Amino acid sequence: MDATEQYEHRSNRRSFLLKGAAAGVATVGAGRLLADPPNAHASGGLTPGDAAILRFLAALETLETDLWQQYNELGGIQDSEVPGGSGNPDYTDALSVLDSDMAQYIHDNTDDEFTHFTFLNAYLIAHGMAPANLEKFRTLPSSTATGAQQIGRLTNLMRLTVDTSWWTRYRSDSLNPDFGDTLPQAVPDLATGEHPGIPRSNDDLTPPDHLQAIANTAGFHFAFIEQGGTSLYPSLAQRVNSTEVLRILLSIGPTETMHFQTWQDKAGNAPPLTDPVTGLTFPDLNADGELLQTNLIMPEPTIFLDRKFPVCSIIRPTETDGAAMGALSALTADGLFRGQSTEFFAVMTNLAQAADAAHHGT
């Protein structure tokens, strides 16, 4: 296929998925179930527990898409594949300090997240199950900086508290959160206070080191988001019943890991600096040993399952008990939902608790 054909193929696939989802909603709304979901029947059907896990993942992917779309409008490539924004040249330039291809990667990560929630919801609907729908919570304000759409958002990128312990977690050879270990922060300032990951207005475009600190924040936030998906999918996969649902989780989850690995590498290029406006400091990560060294991006082998076993290079954490609530709590602590309604938290908590109540074999 040439580039044009590939693009048309992708567009057709996207419109097919959306049409399929819309048709499914109409079918469920009319009180009828789709008659023939052959693959799931062949693998044992879609249990309420499997549906709860898929629905929680669809909700999180919807939230993930919302945040990525905001990043893309200001800092990604602008095209019809991920429409909406018009780009902010100053922010895009600041992001490009981390890698000249940042705009492409932001665009493609955003595109991927759209397909994740769209697919998961279409699959639920095709099996007569309710999809995740958070549209009523699209109430948070947009950035007013040049390039952003002025629409209601599900997530807030302007008051982030970014946990950067994933950096040391994947560099430690003796600690693992599944054993109760707490890992140190790579950028301690980001883990306290509230920091914008996007320019909130054109006032944030200067001075240069202030804008660079915002781009650096985004660089670490990208990896924080995607390491979460990297752990969540294997954590929840342990409790699904259908082999086809297992296939879905095992096929989507590693794409989050591919995103994470890219972002981890780019975050290491964030220049050490102190924001002259806020005092937020990004330290020199290559000044203080292997737990922070920027090029150690392959997962260091660490303890797994039981200390009696040899260390192993693994995704961590992958504990399944409470994994959905753990993910929701981590995103809440990240500040993504600052300004959201009480009802939003109630709905998300219900979705997470239902996913955590699902058990393999029931």
**Is 113 one of the binding residues for Fe ion (CB under 5 A)?**
yes
What DSSP designation does 238 have? T
Query: Shortest approach of Fe ion to residue 116 CB, angstroms?
Result: 4
Nearer to Fe ion, 116 or 200 (CB): 116
Amino acid identity for residue 325 in this structure: M
- Interface of this chain with Fe ion, residues 59 to 78, rule: CB under 5 A: 61
Q: How far is the CB of 253 from Fe ion (least distance, A)?
A: 9
Residue 204 binds Fe ion, judged by CB under 5 A: no
Tell me if 168 sits within 8 A of 308, measured CB to CB: no
User: Minimum distance between the CB of residue 331 and Fe ion, rounded to whole angstroms?
Assistant: 13
In this structure, the number of other CB atoms found within 10 A of the CB of residue 97 comes to 16
Nearer to Fe ion, 114 or 170 (CB): 114
The residue of the chain with the least Cβ separation from Fe ion equals: 116
If one asks whether residue 266 binds Fe ion (CB under 5 A), the answer comes out as no
| Binding window for Fe ion (CB under 5 A); candidates: 16-24, 25-33, 109-117, 351-359 | 109-117
Q: How far is the CB of 37 from Fe ion (least distance, A)?
A: 23
171 sits near Fe ion (criterion: CB under 5 A): no
- The CB-side HSE value for 345 (13 A sphere, CA atoms) comes to 12
Identity of the residue, 195 or 266, whose beta carbon is nearer to Fe ion in the bound complex: 266
Least distance from C-beta 61 to Fe ion, angstroms?
Answer: 5
Residues 20-59 as x/- pattern, contact with Fe ion by CB under 5 A: ----------------------------------------
Burial 271-296 (b: 16+ CB within 10 A, else e): eebebeeeebebbebeeeeebbebeb
> Interface with Fe ion includes 259 (CB under 5 A)?
no
Q: Report the alpha-carbon distance of residue 63 to residue 56 in Å, rounded.
A: 11
164 neighbors 221 (Cβ within 8 angstroms): no
Question: Residues near 343 by Cβ (< 8 Å), separated by ≥ 6?
Answer: 137
Name which of residues 115 to 134 contact Fe ion (CB under 5 A): 116
Amino acid symbol at 276? P
Tokens of 6: 């590939």
Phi, psi torsion values for 137, nearest 5 degrees? -95, 10
We find the least distance from the C-beta atom of residue 256 to Fe ion, in angstroms, to be 5
CB 351 within 8 A of CB 56: yes
Binding-site ranges for Fe ion (CB under 5 A): 61, 113, 116
